[in-house]
Structure 1
Amino acid sequence: MTPTILHIDMDAFFVSVEEVLDPSLKGKAVIVGGSPEGRGVVAAASYEARRFGVHSAMPIARARKLCPHAIFLRGAHKRYSEFSARVFAILEHYSPLVEPMSLDEAYLDLTGCERLHGPAVATAQRMHDEIRDTVGINASIGIAANKLMAKVASEFAKPNGCFRVLPDQAARFLAPFPVGTLPGIGPKGVQQFRRLGVRTVRDLAALPLEFLEEVFGEWGAQLHDKARGISHSPVQPREESKSISRETTLEEDSTDPQYLESVLSYLLEKAAGQLRGEGLRARCVTLKLRYSDFKTVTRSRTLTVPACEDHILFATVVDLFRKLFTRRTRVRLIGVGLTSLTREALQQMDLFDTPARSAGRETLYAGIDRIRTKYGFRSILRATSHNEE
């Protein structure tokens, strides 16, 4: 049986929620992510703001210059989470196999559901209309035989539509498009491919597997498959995390250890916040570095006692970094992973620690998590943290 996979992406989700709550915003240039005088980055922009070149992850100061007449909103994570829960409740009526990727994005496996719901395209359209009529949010839905092609298809469905790529047409469909059409290939990757004479997916597909593996290492085999529209990644339903990781590709490759540690600090805070949010602790901490030559290295350390506190986890990952990193090659990607998760409540205490100090730190982290839940993750960060996401 040929799989039927959907990729559902809420259009300008944060902005759409704000428009539902305040209909006067519709049709206007709206930017969520901070005030025009403040720091930070754009979390979402309405299509009216995008016409001026504003996009997600752009510094707020840059967005203000491009679109000075925009309405800037700080946003509220709690509201967005509530709307997201309503959307996911609808998706789960159609299939138990729903894999959340973020508040506003998910994969859904409809394989074998035609007898229950009817043809895939009609089902996707009905799902789209139910989200719009019930929640008030527009969605773009891609339909294909695997997650890779479903995600590509959803880009062609934007804004506010459904688009299907037939299983036997995947490679032919991808071939003429720019190589950056493939998920996971960003602007820096596009530039590197151009230096190799690769501009389209067809150009990439023409490169031998051996060459791709020589140039890109373990990523080479993935590129070889992606260029042909091949993906074997299953849709994995929501369940208790077995691992938590955060990684980011840097805007510019770097050999600056202080800068790299500040990015690592930010990523660790995000991972540890999720860990505490799920009531978990980690026994193992992993550092991941990918260099400008695409060589990837990892180092791990097992803790004596499982931990969820930022200061313990960060001290571990930064020690791994300082022992691994050399200035000889620039770093392209940096990440942190937390594994061997457990609900054990044992806490790590140093020689001079006391139960009172330990309880105080627990209260501190609980307070930090409450503030982030109410005002957003970036509302309170370690002084050492730098957001590169």
Structure 2
Amino acid sequence: MAEVPQAGEFQMPQDKFVFLHIDLNSFFASVEQQLHPEYRNRPLAVVPTKSDTTACIAASYEAKALGIKTGTLVGEAKRVCPEIILIHGNHAEYAKYSHAIADAVELVCPVAHTPSIDEMVCQLMGREQQPENARRIAYDVKQSIYTHVGEALRCSIGMAPNRYLAKIASDMQKPDGLIGLLPSQLPRAIAHLALRDLPGVGARTEARLNAQGIHTMPQLLALDRHGMHRLWDSVWGDRIYHWLHGHITGDDGAPIPQEMQKSLGHSHVLAPEHRTLEGSWAVAHKLLHKAAMRLRMEKFYAGSMTLHIRYALNREQADRMRAKQHFSGLKHTGWGMEARFPEAQDTLTLLEVLQKLWQKRPQGPDFEKPFFVGVTLGRLLQEASYNPGLFAAQDRRSQLSSAIDQLNLKHGHTTVHLAGMMSAKESAPTRIAFTQIPVQYGSEWM
């Protein structure tokens, strides 16, 4: 990890805005309200299924006003608001609108980063950084989205000297907000926030800070850089210090670039008909099929694979074992194992690895009701850095995978597949992506 600039190496705070962070408000629900004018100004939730035990993926602001939010169980949402509109999520539409919004933003200011499907970051240059000019650009971005994409789509924009503060500012006023944080306004402008309002501070980090005597933002902001370093016990503390004080360090909290991507994969909560050993294997096979295809489309080789399985438990089993609780209320236990191997990207080689992992899964009456499967490919190596082996068999497998990809890209991702996933061919569809924009490969999204 790169060193944080020391005193004198970073640009001292100036009252200017370098980044705009655009956060699309209740994005999935707003897309549905744009697509269906009859849903506007009404409580609406986007859901994976309409089962009472599943959770809402997103909620409109009308639903949020009633206390319904992301993670609320569908049954609870219906109890709170019997007339709530429940919509099956459509990742293809959300990706299409995300790209359309990015195009609308580009008409005003280039998009420098896309942290997630409902976030975009613009970096301002030269005179654009002057506060009055940055505000004008932000208002123009809002108008461009309204004019070119749709009136139901609103965004909150945060303006700040660095990306970290811009992200914080974008969350401070919703919906349709516009907040700027200048160094001259710090730290008082963020002193009222909770620790959990800081990007990267979740429940575990908050508990760790609490254990060290930090319970409020004023307590955190009172620390100098060395104190912040000690608090985090890493260079991350130095970065947090500089970002919160509005410094322009050149290290603005950017996500890991693609060339540093470490893993990719898919997971799936099994439908009732697949909650058997045979059904879960078929779904795992399908997940590998998708992951291997993505691996090739994104031009990577993988050097490791991790298989995760969660097993549902009855009351007696849950009392006897260290059970966890799923958001649906289901008690379960989990298992996972990683295998490492020479870098590969063809489906047959990866399937052999999956089969070996599957054979090592736990056995016995406590592990007969799988309800969740995940397959992750890791230790990624860019295709350009891969040294081909000397064995023709691997080349033939790669050629076979390439031929299958060409057919599936043209006719649908499961048109040609291995027999092991037949019973789960329609299972594990592409889910709504929070942390990335789904990519269209051929006729489908992934």
Tell me whether the two structures share a fold, i.e. TM-score over 0.5.
yes
8 Å contact 1:11–1:159 — kept in the other structure? yes
Deviations 1:329-358, CA, capped at 9 Å, x for gaps: xxxxxx97553221789899989x979986
Bigger relative contact order (CA 8 A; separation at least 6): 2
TM-score, structure 1 normalization: 0.67
1:197-212 pair list within 5 angstroms:
197-207=213-223, 208-209=227-228, 211-212=230-231
Q: Please, which of 202, 208, 231 is the counterpart of residue 186 of structure 1? A: 202
1:149-228 pair list within 5 angstroms:
149-207=165-223, 208-209=227-228, 211-214=230-233, 217=234, 219-225=236-242, 227-228=244-245
**Superposition deviation, residue 115 in structure 1:** 9.4
| Structure with larger Rg | 2
**Superposition deviation, residue 152 in structure 1:** 0.8
In structure 1, the residue matched to 2:368 is: none
Letter in 1 for 2:209: F
Question: Is 1:233 aligned with 2:251?
Answer: yes
Aligned Cα RMSD in Å? Answer: 4.9
Alpha-carbon distance in structure 1 between the residues aligned to 2:42 and 2:289: 32
Question: Is 1:275 aligned with 2:289?
Answer: no
In structure 2, the residue matched to 1:243 is: 261
Letter in 1 for 2:70: S
In structure 2, the residue matched to 1:376 is: 430
Q: Please, which of 408, 411, 414 is the counterpart of residue 367 of structure 1? A: 414
Letter in 2 for 1:211: R
In structure 1, the residue matched to 2:24 is: 10
**Superposition deviation, residue 107 in structure 1:** 1.1
Alpha-carbon distance in structure 2 between the residues aligned to 1:19 and 1:67: 18
Letter in 1 for 2:383: T
In structure 2, the residue matched to 1:340 is: 381
Query: Residues 270 and 94 from structure 1, CA distance in 2 versus in 1: closer, same or farther, beyond 3 angstroms?
Result: farther
In structure 1, the residue matched to 2:70 is: 56
In structure 2, the residue matched to 1:134 is: 148
Once the two structures are aligned, what percentage of the paired residues are identical?
Answer: 23
TM-score, structure 2 normalization: 0.60
Gaps of 5+ in 2: 1-10, 266-280, 307-337, 363-375, 418-424, 434-446
SS in 2 for 1:202: helix
Question: Is 1:303 aligned with 2:342?
Answer: yes
In structure 1, the residue matched to 2:440 is: none
8 Å contact 2:243–2:252 — kept in the other structure? no
Letter in 1 for 2:93: R
SS in 1 for 2:31: helix
**Superposition deviation, residue 57 in structure 1:** 3.8
8 Å contact 2:46–2:59 — kept in the other structure? yes
Alpha-carbon distance in structure 1 between the residues aligned to 2:211 and 2:65: 30
8 Å contact 1:31–1:70 — kept in the other structure? yes
**Superposition deviation, residue 272 in structure 1:** 3.2
**Superposition deviation, residue 89 in structure 1:** 0.9
Deviations 1:180-199, CA, capped at 9 Å, x for gaps: 12111123433443343322
Letter in 2 for 1:212: L
Alpha-carbon distance in structure 1 between the residues aligned to 2:253 and 2:202: 23
8 Å contact 1:176–1:201 — kept in the other structure? yes
The count of residues paired between Structure 1 and Structure 2 equals 336
**Superposition deviation, residue 46 in structure 1:** 0.5
Which segment is superposed worse, 43-52 or 198-207? Answer: 198-207
8 Å contact 2:56–2:70 — kept in the other structure? yes
Alpha-carbon distance in structure 1 between the residues aligned to 2:125 and 2:237: 29
